[in-house]
Amino acid sequence: MAENILVAVFSASGVTKRVGEAIASAAGADFYEIVPKEIYTSADLNWMNKKSRSSVEMNDPSARPEISGTVEDMASYDTVIIGFPIWWGIAPRIIETFLESYDFSGKTIIPFCTSGGSGVGKSDSALHKNVSADVKWAKGVQINRPNENEIRKWLDKVL
């Protein structure tokens, strides 16, 4: 397995966080939760309301929700496993904020998503524009629950 792994996740409801914690445990990795400066309320997450905060952000490709806190010593990680729920078929804008906040040059990024409806789709490749060209990307996968056997099989393939 790779050395110096960080699992960084954004989780609005807790599902992605539980999966990310299981991945970090299985990989012997550090865990970091991407916490928005302004926490999303249920009303903010109402995708049926076109004026909800998440709807407004997802309809604006330039939206970059602020993150509370930073990863200490990002330079020390070789591999970053990044997890997020699928919103409107892609990663939430806060993932773009995260990717644009650090230098990932020479690192491997391994995305995973959780989703109640759609799969990974183009959500992982859409993020490539947010980092420098010399980043190695693994193909994104959907992992909806913290199943240790499934996670270990996946990690054996990608690490």
Mean pLDDT of the chain: 93
* Phi and psi torsions of 133, nearest 5°: -70, -20
Domains contained in the chain, number: 1
Question: Does residue 116 surpass a pLDDT of 90?
Answer: no
| pLDDT reported for residue 140 | 85
DSSP 139: P
Place of tokens 């409107």: 88
The dihedral region occupied by 73, where left means phi > 0, alpha psi between -120 and 50, and beta the remainder, is left
20 and 83 Cβ atoms separated by less than 8 Å = yes
Q: Give the tens place of pLDDT for each residue, 56-107.
A: 999 999 999 999 999 999 999 999 999 999 998 889 999 999 999 999 999 9
**CA-based angle 5:103:79, to the nearest 5?**
15
pTM equals 0.94
Q: The tokens of 13 are what?
A: 């409801």
User: The domain containing residue 147 runs over which residues?
Assistant: 5-158
Structure tokens, 117? 């409806």
96-99 long-range contacts (CB < 8 A, ≥24 apart) are 96/64, 96/127, 96/130, 97/64, 97/65, 97/66, 97/67, 98/8, 98/10, 98/34, 98/67, 99/127, 99/130, 99/131
User: Scanning the structure block, which residue is given the tokens 């919103």?
Assistant: 87
Report the CATH number at residue 33. Answer: 3.40.50.360
HSE (CB half, 13 Å, CA atoms) of 11?
20
